[in-house]
Amino acid sequence: MSRSAVVVGVAALVLAALPARAGETVSGRYDIMIGGLQVGVAGLEGRISDEAYETSISLRLSGVSRLIASGRGTASASGRISGGRAIPANYNLTLNTTQQNEAIRMAMTGGAIRSFSAEPERPAAADQVPVTAAHRQGVLDPLAAGLFFAPGAGPTVTAAACAKTFPVFDGRQRYDLSFSFARTDTIKVAGYEGPVVVCNARYRAIAGHRPSQTQAMEANRDMQIWLAPIAGTRALLPARISIRTPVGVALIEPTKLELGSPSTTASISR
């Protein structure tokens, strides 16, 4: 699994929200596994309302083999919610590992990138698909692309929650993440026991990439995401991610989840 795929997977998993006014508090802790071996941990703290969101996440990789870096990362994002979708305002990522250093800053208005920086600067490869101004319009940042909403007024754990395609710009690359319904299921971890909807996931590179390096990810049909409902909202949080890689299945597994009001979230001991 590529380093960027690990980071994107964790970013999608730990999206939560902290609005300007009261909303539902969420938090979680996760193990990152590849081929049955734990290679890192991640955490989130946040809150979400029907009007706005903000998130803060952390990541630590253990570097247990030459395939996985050691180091730390943090990311944060904020924005508002309108029409059952996230409208990002700010996104920041800092990643410092033995294999990769990144500092991404983006400011957004109405889905358009108003300003951004990506350090260190990298020279474009001969076969790299260029990013144009049009590729930075009508997009989400990677954390906003982890916030799902169920349409209508009925149950949130439904097939309709999966029916999404998110246009993502991460500061370097533009890509689509598409989701479709697989099944419903249940999960049981410390802090949450209840239903989830499982979605199949697909990745499609648009710009900023080298085709030779993204073909395997685009062809990957073994990617799924488990969505758990956030109490008091129409939103669902990615609670688990599974991705087949050449070195084994990569899993991002929750060890603890707190998803809103205790009156509607069943707490259990692990």
Question: ∠ CA 246-33-249 to the nearest 5 degrees?
Answer: 30
What whole-number distance in Å separates Cα of residue 106 and Cα of residue 74? 15
pLDDT, mean of residues 65-82: 86
Give which of 169, 194, 53, 196 is closest to 107, Cα–Cα.
169
Give the pLDDT of residue 24: 82
Give the pLDDT of residue 75: 96
pLDDT, mean of residues 136-161: 93
The pLDDT confidence band at residue 58, using thresholds 50, 70 and 90, is: very high
Give the pLDDT of residue 55: 87
Q: What would the DSSP string read from start to end of 81-113?
A: EETTEEEEEEEEEEEEESS-EEEEEEEEETTEE
Contact 160, 149 (CB under 8 A): no
Percent of the chain residues past pLDDT 90, beyond the cut: 68
Give the pLDDT of residue 66: 59
How much is the mean pLDDT over the chain?
Answer: 87
Give the pLDDT of residue 265: 35
Give the pLDDT of residue 64: 66
Give the pLDDT of residue 262: 53
pLDDT at 16 over 80: no
Which pLDDT tens digit goes with each residue over 204-240? Answer: 999 999 999 999 999 999 999 999 999 888 899 899 9
